[in-house]
Structure formats: structure tokens, C-alpha cells
Structure 1
Amino acid sequence: MSTRPEDATSAPVSLADLEARAAARRERPAYGHDALIACDRLVRVFSADGVEVQALQGLDLLVSEGELMALVGASGSGKSTLMNILAGLDVPTAGAATVAGRDLLTMDARARLTYRREVVGFVWQQTARNLLPYLTVLQNVTLPMQLRGGRRRAARTKTAEQLLAMLSLDHCRDRRPHQLSGGEQQRTAIAVALANTPSVLLADEPTGELDSHTAEQVFAAFRTANEELGTTIVIVTHDQAVADEVRRTVAIRDGRTSSEVLRRTERDAATGREALVAREYAMLDRAGRLQLPADYTSSLGMAHRVLLELESDHIGVWPDPTADGNADHGAGDGPKPGGRTPDDGPKPGDGTPGDGPKPGGGATT
């Protein structure tokens, strides 16, 4: 049984205690203080003909400097809206978003233009949007540096040539876009996006119009930029092959981050062999909301509300015992569906993320 502050057995809370708690909260580091990209309860509402649509509904996301990560989600999930906000092409309705220390909600038009020139690079899915058709590859890559200003022509040309060499495009420097293959066009677009050494490179479905072999070459270019230049790269993709190649994949559903797949290399103690291990985690946002996988909830008949049990090392999530078909299981009346009680000892898989649903008819987190 929980003890409320007004219970006679509770120690009264003094004004000094409240002030100490408030001071402790103020002294905590701000959310995302050490992240290159920090989105805190981000909201974006679109209005059309008197109807409001929430594309982002309190989305949280942190991206560390030097990461190469992927964003995935169904059409309409909000991932493209998020990318447009991070690129400085759109403004969030509420919440907070910072990239490399720039506040995306408070920038004026001039600051936003500087941000797009200096802080972020962007690669579109449609190759025609990335390159000017009447310029050569070398001229396309030097153009962003020319628009930014502050560098001599010889320095701009040298930087462009270095980028083309890094991405294996030396042979294309004097060609125009229509003389390039789809893969060469996208790799040139990456070079253009990297021209002003941005802190973040954003790519929206960069392999969506390419065959699998060419897509591999384009992704290899992103990996090269990440490893050799240290550029933080965020890729929106439907291509599972691309998503499987990064160490971290974040899924967006209904305008919020819903799950995250982390991949790491593990060595087998017995054989010494290395293997890539992927584990999926549900995301707990700043408001304490958790999106449970639909196949988990449907298989257990969970809808509308669930019963929670706090145990020593995890939280049990159980179907509503008062719902149809479960009416004979009263909340807190003893064993949960499946006959297990909180005192039965450790469950199989306890404490191991990614083990899936636990025996006993409930999901645990």
C-alpha cells in the first residue's frame, strides 16, 4: 500500500526540503546537454481548411556527435517532418530542438540561412534536387563554398577535389549531372552536402531510387564521410538493408520515437568468433510514455488500459483483469494471468533486454 503525504505516519515536508529539491532539479544538466542533436517533446501541427494534423506529438531524440544512424517509420509517421525541422526548412510548433548549439525555434530568417549553409548538409532522394544541371561536378561541389564566402578560388577547388577523391569521383569532375549514373549523382550530392564541413549531414531516402548494388555504393560513401571526416549522419530510409548497416536505428510511429535497435559486435568466449548482435528496445519518452509493439499487445488482448506491477528489477505489464474474459482475475488479488506471483523468484529472461515476452501471459520491461 502506498503512503500518502497526509497520512499520520508520514513525516511532514518542510519548506526547506521543498527548496532543496527545487535547487537540486535546477542544478541537473539540461536534457541533451551533451548531444549534438537534441529534440525535447517536439510538436509540429499543420492546419488546413480548419483541420489540424499533429505530425509530431512530443517527440524526443538525442544524437551524439560522430554517430551514423538511421530513422525508419511508415509513411505519415513524422520522420520527414522531423528531417525538415532539423534541416532548418520548417519550424516546430512547440517543444525544443537544438543542433550543434543552435536553437531551431528562435532563429530568424537570416540565422536560419546561415544555419543551412554552415551547420547542416542535406541530400534529397530525387537526384535532380541535389545538383544544378548546367554545372560540372566540380562546379557543383565548389558552389556552396562560394556562396558562403571567405575562401579563395584555389582553396575551394582543392577542397572539392579532395572530397571527390574521397568518394571515388575523380573521373567525374568535368562531367555534368546528365552524364552521371544514379549512384554517381548521389555521391556527388554527398560531396556537395559536405563542401562546407557541416556538423550534421541529413539524407532523406538517398537510396530510394537506386538498385541494391548502387545503394550499397552510396551507403559506403556515407560511411566514408562518417569515418574520415567525423561527420554526424542521420539517414531516413525505408531500405532495411541500409538500416541494418548502422549501429543505431530509431523507429518513429505516430509522431513519436517508438523503438530503437542497437547493434554491436560481441565475441563468443568459447570459439573467439565475432558476431553482430542486434537488440530492440522500446523508447521511454520524457513524459514517461511507452509504445508497446502492436504484435505484443494484440497477442495478449491488451487494449485501452493495462495493469502495471513494479518488481525489484523490472515492470510487469498485464492485460486488464476487469476486461471481458479476464473478469475473474481481480487487480492485486494474487497470481497474475499464468499463475505467477511477484514472489515466485526471477523469471526466465529477467534483466535481459530483447528477450521478448516473458512466461506468465504478461509483457515486462
Structure 2
Amino acid sequence: MTTTSQTAGTTTLEELERRATERRDRPSYGHDALIACDRLVRIFTTDGVEVQALQGLDLLVTEGELMALVGASGSGKSTLMNILAGLDVPTAGAAKVAGCDLLAMDGKARLRYRREVVGFVWQQTARNLLPYLTAAQNVALPMQLKDGRKGGTRQKARRAEELLAMLDMADHADRRPHQLSGGQQQRVAIAVALANNPSVLLADEPTGELDSATGEQVFAAFRRANEELGTTIVIVTHDQAVASEVRRTVAIRDGRTSSEVLRRTEVDETGRESLVAREYAMLDRAGRLQLPADYTEALDMRHRVALELEQDHIGVWPDDKEG
């Protein structure tokens, strides 16, 4: 009996050591992602009242993606964008963009991050461009701020010309913002954001002040930048037309990622292509997911639910009140 117990004890200890080794050798969360947010928390305090804008949000974005973030007002999406842009600092959790730790940067590193790693396009056209500079001068300005005003003037001008040409704005290079339409201003703003060849381009409601036709032109400019330059682009939008044009749309609700829609092209037996979209609930690292409100309301699910583990799925059932 003693020998058996010792053997069983030894086997159990070896099993625990094996599991611990597997966990230790497992790649870290988001190790291969360009953007990795891990249990991100942001708390604001106003007049002694705490508001949790982000409540343990998880998000991974791979290099080269063109994706959209959607959510109701107050869901936390703009807070997330400000953190990714280096304009705000998380309260807790982890956030990395292109290898930069957004919680560990000092002021100098944060300024360099905003100049070199990320580009940003605001909804308000007036915030993106300096009114007294031409389109070409606006595009060249970030390069001058990064490298200094001396040297490389010709290369900066050439880079500005190339970006404006790519976005069909070459004929407007010498015009100032007040001489451009709203859509034209946003396309110049995209060129400004791309000037220093950032790893990530962030855009907060870039078509919010534009009509649908002009919005389509601006989104086409984002797509061109993504395809021709390989720039990773994340767009916050309420515009369903924009959200439906990207391969991946992530929804944020109550400070967490709640669901995402993935779109892919399928070819049937006749060779005809069709776009197929499927919605998924997001499962965070703590095992939590947000069930769609219309689902829970339809089944009168409140407070608690019953779970059953099946061979190939998990069943979620309304609480048996009588039981």
C-alpha cells in the first residue's frame, strides 16, 4: 500500500510539473499580434464618482488588417482609440502596439510613439489640418517634426506628392483646407497620418461629417492605403456601410469586446463568388461572453443561466425558476 501511494503521489507531482512547464512554454497572449490589449481597464473619476470606461477589454489585431470598431455611445470605443493613439493611459491591464508598451512609456517615448508608430484621423476635419498650410505642406509637416526642419526637404516633398497622388489629391496639393471639400480634407488628413509610414493608422468616425457618397470615397482611400502600403488600419464608425466593407468588425459593449463579424468570399460550384458574413460572440480570457440582448430577452434570461457541457458545444438554458 505504501509503495502504491508513493507511486501515485509521484505520478501526480510529475503531471503537475508537466502542466506547469506547458503553461510556461506557451506563447504569451497576443505574441504574434500587432495590437494586443489584455484585460484593459480605464477608470475615470469625476467629482468623486468613478466611471469604468473599459472593463477588462481584450483585443488582438494582426499586421495588415483593415478592421472596424462599432458600439453605442459610451461603450468605450473612443476611450480605446485614445489609448491606442497614445493620448490616454490605461488604469490597468496591458496594451502593446508594434512592440511598444503603452503603460510603460514616459512622456518622451509617448511623443515619439505618436510621431512614428501611429497615425490618427479625427472626425472633425478642422482638427486634422493646419488652415494656413497647403495640402502638400500639411503632409510634409509630420516628417519635418520627426526629422527636424533641416535636410531632406526634397525627399519630404516627394513623399508628400506620392501620398497625395495615391489618394487622388495630386491636383489639389497647392490648395489650403478652406479651398477643399470635406471629403477632400479627409483624404489629405489620411495622407498626413501616413506621412511617417506608421505601423498603425487609427481613425475615429472619419466619415461622420460626410454624406454617404463622399464617405465611400474616403473609405476607398483607407482601403487603398491598406492595400498599397500594407498599413494596419482600425476605424471607429457608426456608418454601417463602412463596417460592412471590412473583413472584420468588432463590437464593443459596456467596456468589453462583445461580438465580431467575420466576412469572407466563397465560390460556389458554378464559380460564382459571394460574400459570407458570420457573427461570433467574443470569449475573453476570463471565460466571459456577452449574450446578445435580443436573445436573452426572447428567452427571459435574467441574473443566471444553466450551462450544460455537450460533446461538441456548451448549452445555455434559462434558469429553472420552479426547480
3-state SS in 2 of match to 1:14:
helix
Pairing 1:281–2:280 present: yes
Pairing 1:94–2:92 present: yes
Q: For 2:77, which of 76, 79, 104 is the aligned residue? A: 79
The one-letter amino acid paired with 2:260 is E
Give, in whole Å, the separation in 2 of the partners of 1:278 and 1:21: 38
2:141 is matched with 143
Give, in whole Å, the separation in 1 of the partners of 2:284 and 2:141: 41
The one-letter amino acid paired with 1:238 is H
Task: Work out which of the two has the higher radius of gyration on C-alpha atoms and give 1 or 2.
Answer: 1
Give, in whole Å, the separation in 1 of the partners of 2:145 and 2:82: 21
Alignment of 1:1-365 (within 5 A): 12=9, 14-149=12-147, 152-269=152-269, 271-321=270-320, 323=321, 327=322, 330=323
Q: Deviations over 1:59-102 (max 9, x none)?
A: 00000000000000000000000000000000000000000000
3-state SS in 1 of match to 2:228:
helix
Q: Name stretches of at least 5 consecutive residues in structure 2 with no aligned partner.
A: none
The one-letter amino acid paired with 2:303 is H
The one-letter amino acid paired with 2:202 is L
Give, in whole Å, the separation in 1 of the partners of 2:15 and 2:260: 38
Tell me how far 1:107 sits from its aligned partner.
Answer: 0.3
3-state SS in 2 of match to 1:279:
strand
Tell me how far 1:293 sits from its aligned partner.
Answer: 0.3
Give, in whole Å, the separation in 1 of the partners of 2:17 and 2:313: 32
The one-letter amino acid paired with 2:228 is E
Tell me how far 1:15 sits from its aligned partner.
Answer: 3.3
3-state SS in 1 of match to 2:82:
helix
Tell me how far 1:24 sits from its aligned partner.
Answer: 1.4
The one-letter amino acid paired with 2:157 is T
Q: Counting helix residues as a fraction of each chain, which structure ranks higher? A: 2
TM-score normalised by the chain length of structure 1: 0.85
Give, in whole Å, the separation in 2 of the partners of 1:181 and 1:115: 30
Give, in whole Å, the separation in 1 of the partners of 2:54 and 2:215: 29
1:354 is matched with none
Give, in whole Å, the separation in 2 of the partners of 1:20 and 1:277: 42
The one-letter amino acid paired with 1:312 is Q
Give, in whole Å, the separation in 1 of the partners of 2:268 and 2:220: 28
Tell me how far 1:39 sits from its aligned partner.
Answer: 0.3
Give, in whole Å, the separation in 1 of the partners of 2:262 and 2:16: 39
Give, in whole Å, the separation in 2 of the partners of 1:263 and 1:45: 33
Give, in whole Å, the separation in 1 of the partners of 2:231 and 2:61: 12
The one-letter amino acid paired with 2:272 is R
Higher relative contact order (CA 8 A, sep 6+): 2
1:348 is matched with none
The one-letter amino acid paired with 2:240 is Q
Q: Deviations over 1:21-62 (max 9, x none)?
A: 222111100000000000000000001111110000000000
Give, in whole Å, the separation in 2 of the partners of 1:246 and 1:74: 19
3-state SS in 2 of match to 1:220:
helix
Tell me how far 1:267 sits from its aligned partner.
Answer: 1.0
Tell me how far 1:300 sits from its aligned partner.
Answer: 0.6
Q: Deviations over 1:124-166 (max 9, x none)?
A: 0000000000000010000000000065000000000000000
Give, in whole Å, the separation in 1 of the partners of 2:271 and 2:106: 56
The one-letter amino acid paired with 1:88 is G
Give, in whole Å, the separation in 2 of the partners of 1:306 and 1:170: 59
Q: Name stretches of at least 5 consecutive residues in structure 1 with no aligned partner.
A: 1-7, 331-365
Tell me how far 1:19 sits from its aligned partner.
Answer: 2.6
Give, in whole Å, the separation in 2 of the partners of 1:295 and 1:65: 34
3-state SS in 1 of match to 2:40:
strand
Give, in whole Å, the separation in 2 of the partners of 1:36 and 1:284: 20
Tell me how far 1:250 sits from its aligned partner.
Answer: 0.1
